[in-house]
Amino acid sequence: MNRDSDRTVLVVHGDEQSLARARRLLESEGIHVEEQGPERGSSDDRVRYEELFKTSRDGILFTDLNGRIEDANPAFLDMVGYPLEEVCDRFEQQITPEKWRLLESRIVAPALLAKGESGEYEKEYIKKGGSRVPTQVRSWLLRNTQGEPFRKLTLVRDTSARKSMEEQLRQAQKMEALGTLAGGIAHDFNNVLAAILGYIELARFDVDESNPARKSIDQIYKASQRARNLVGHILSFSRQTVHEKKPVFMQQIIGESLELLRASLPSTIEIKQSMTSKVYPIDADSTQIHQILMNLCTNAAHAMADGGTLSILLDVVTLNEVDVHEFIELEPGAYMKLSVGDTGCGMNLEVKKRIFDPYFTTKGKGQGTGMGLSVVHGILKVHGGAIRVESEEGEGSVFHLYFPVSEGRAGEEPKVAAGLARGQENILFVDDEPDLAEMVGAMLERLGYTVTSVTDSREAFDLFSKSPEAFDLVVTDLTMPKMTGVALARKVKALRPEVPVIICTGYSDSFSAGEVSDAGIDFLLMKPLEIRELSASIRNALTGRGTDETLSSH
């Protein structure tokens, strides 16, 4: 038992040897034992014993040597869900699962007879409704005045809360490992996709629109773009990083999340969406907003085991002084209201009261941990928002989420310029993948630049150090052997501070915006590189516009 728990005073009847052994064992567990033989009994002692027996937070169980239950305190009765009159005269074996009965008959019982106590071990009890409760138990043999064993005393501690926390930890570790695996696979796939996308873009340069092959090339290009976006979403969900808020657009995040969801939801679930044409940003971490949507939509899918409709609505609402009376955590103002609804089983009042409790779940085995809604609630709180639930049993559920609109930031979502930015400057391009170095070099040369492509970062720095003025810009991969892109950037800046540096990576979570700025990096681009984005970033870096848009992603 936990020695940090409150002590329980227990009055035990028996011979001197039995009492001494019981006292040593019980007091080693932080439980004080007051000895009482037949001649020492008093009505006051009996009252104290009865009171402590009734109020102990741990279960106390008395059985005869055959396992027949003779007495149990309220804590034990609460654990198993039986009233005293039903549990008495049952055998302890009747409320013990088979695997634990075998353990106790083969290992625990012999030890109990040989040593007088069992030692501490874990077991389950079968509750009245058929479910099981995990416990930690320890038993002692009690002897009469002749030294003969006649009764077994068992102390029982409910370990449900501890088991739940252990399960949450295991799930968190599993998700972290899964995220790391997904991120690694996506990163490797990015390198393959980068070459495909790059050479397709070069082919589009070479093939005129009137050529019959151009249509096929354009279709391959579109498919590559979809794959690029999908890899970006996977990398986004796999990030384990400090979350930074910046203005983001809900419409874009919803679109990205639905792209992933459609592949994972069963075909029996129809997705309906309606999003306002008004585009207002919110200050948020986009990865966490993705997580909110995925959690809510996954929960909705679980509630519609036989199929149904998943609805996602986005609107702009203004809450006044009267409205916020319902939302004590919100201030009057403009909010993006996201509503996620389902036509599933719904919830009763008791379930609704507990859905944000991290240790409460209605999910069956294999359907997750039940942590999803508590995570959603926590993220909303961090973002200064609120969540409300509408649900009736058998009628489905709707979750309404409110995100405060960024102050002074309204307008249309920025679009990438349609044209390709060109130039005639000298660029040093560094990537340890020879195919990528060759492909990007050819791509930039098509835009008019003079490109020196190098596959070794140390060789690249040696080349730069011999003639720093020969290069107008350095574009480098992040993860390379011998010298990382960041180390190369710092060395380049030490020799010539004014030269701009762009880093390309498959892991945007490796840096925060502050760390990128401290390293002297002007732009951070996500792989696979797309020629329009790359050309725009190069022109911005060369013209000194690498400020608020330093972190760029697709």
Mean pLDDT of 272-276: 91
Confidence band, pLDDT 50/70/90 cuts, at residue 361: low
**What whole-number distance in Å separates Cα of residue 152 and Cα of residue 169?**
36
In this predicted structure, the answer to whether residue 39 has a pLDDT above a threshold of 60 is no
Residue that is last in its domain, among 382, 414, 446: 414
**What whole-number distance in Å separates Cα of residue 247 and Cα of residue 282?**
5
CA 126 from centre of chain: 32
pLDDT the model gives residue 138: 94
Mean pLDDT of 282-293: 85
Longest alpha-carbon distance in the chain: 111
Residues 477 and 403 in one domain: no
Residue 505 belongs to some domain of the structure: yes
Residue that is last in its domain, among 389, 414, 439: 414
pLDDT the model gives residue 362: 57
In this predicted structure, the answer to whether residue 233 has a pLDDT above a threshold of 70 is no
Domain of 354, CATH number, reads 3.30.565.10
Residue 379 belongs to some domain of the structure: yes
What 3-state DSSP class applies to 261? Answer: helix
Residue 353 belongs to some domain of the structure: yes
Residue 99 belongs to some domain of the structure: yes
Residues 20 and 71 in one domain: yes
Reported pTM = 0.49
Residues 409 and 465 in one domain: no
Residues 361 and 314 in one domain: yes
Structural domain count, the chain: 3
Residues 49 and 23 in one domain: yes
Q: Are 25 and 76 in contact (CB under 8 A)?
A: no
Q: Which helix (H) or strand (E) holds 397?
A: strand 396-404
**What whole-number distance in Å separates Cα of residue 206 and Cα of residue 443?**
11
Highest mean pLDDT of the ranges 81-85, 175-179, 352-356 = 81-85
Residues 283 and 364 in one domain: yes
Residue 553 belongs to some domain of the structure: no
Sequence-separated (6 or more) residues with CB below 8 Å from residue 38: 13, 145
Residue 207 belongs to some domain of the structure: no
Residues 409 and 432 in one domain: no
Residue 236 belongs to some domain of the structure: no
pLDDT the model gives residue 455: 95
Residues 341 and 318 in one domain: yes
Residues 452 and 500 in one domain: yes
Residue that is last in its domain, among 111, 135, 158: 158
Domain of 88, CATH number, reads 3.30.450.20
- For the segment 380-433, what is each residue's pLDDT rounded down to a tens digit? 888 889 888 999 888 999 999 999 998 755 444 444 444 678 899 999 999 998
Residues 444 and 378 in one domain: no
| Alpha-carbon distances of 534 from 137, 235, 441, rounded to whole Å | 65, 20, 12
Residues 293 and 395 in one domain: yes
In this predicted structure, the answer to whether residue 359 has a pLDDT above a threshold of 70 is no
Domain holding 501, by residue range, is 426-542
Residues 331 and 466 in one domain: no
Beta bridge partners of 404: 335
Q: Are 258 and 206 in contact (CB under 8 A)?
A: no
- For the segment 118-151, what is each residue's pLDDT rounded down to a tens digit? 989 999 999 998 999 999 999 999 988 888 888 9
Q: Are 193 and 165 in contact (CB under 8 A)?
A: no
| Alpha-carbon distances of 214 from 203, 211, 419, 527, rounded to whole Å | 9, 5, 19, 25
pLDDT the model gives residue 411: 42
How does the average pLDDT of the chain come out, rounded? 81
Per-residue 3-state assignment (H helix, E strand, C coil) for 205-254: HHCCCCCCHHHHHHHHHHHHHHHHHHHHHHHHHHCCCCCCCEEEEHHHHH
Q: Are 303 and 341 in contact (CB under 8 A)?
A: no
Residue 359 belongs to some domain of the structure: yes
Q: Report the chain's terminal Cα–Cα distance, integer Å.
A: 55
- For the segment 68-125, what is each residue's pLDDT rounded down to a tens digit? 999 999 999 999 999 999 998 789 999 999 999 998 999 999 989 889 899 899 999 9
Domain of 529, CATH number, reads 3.40.50.2300
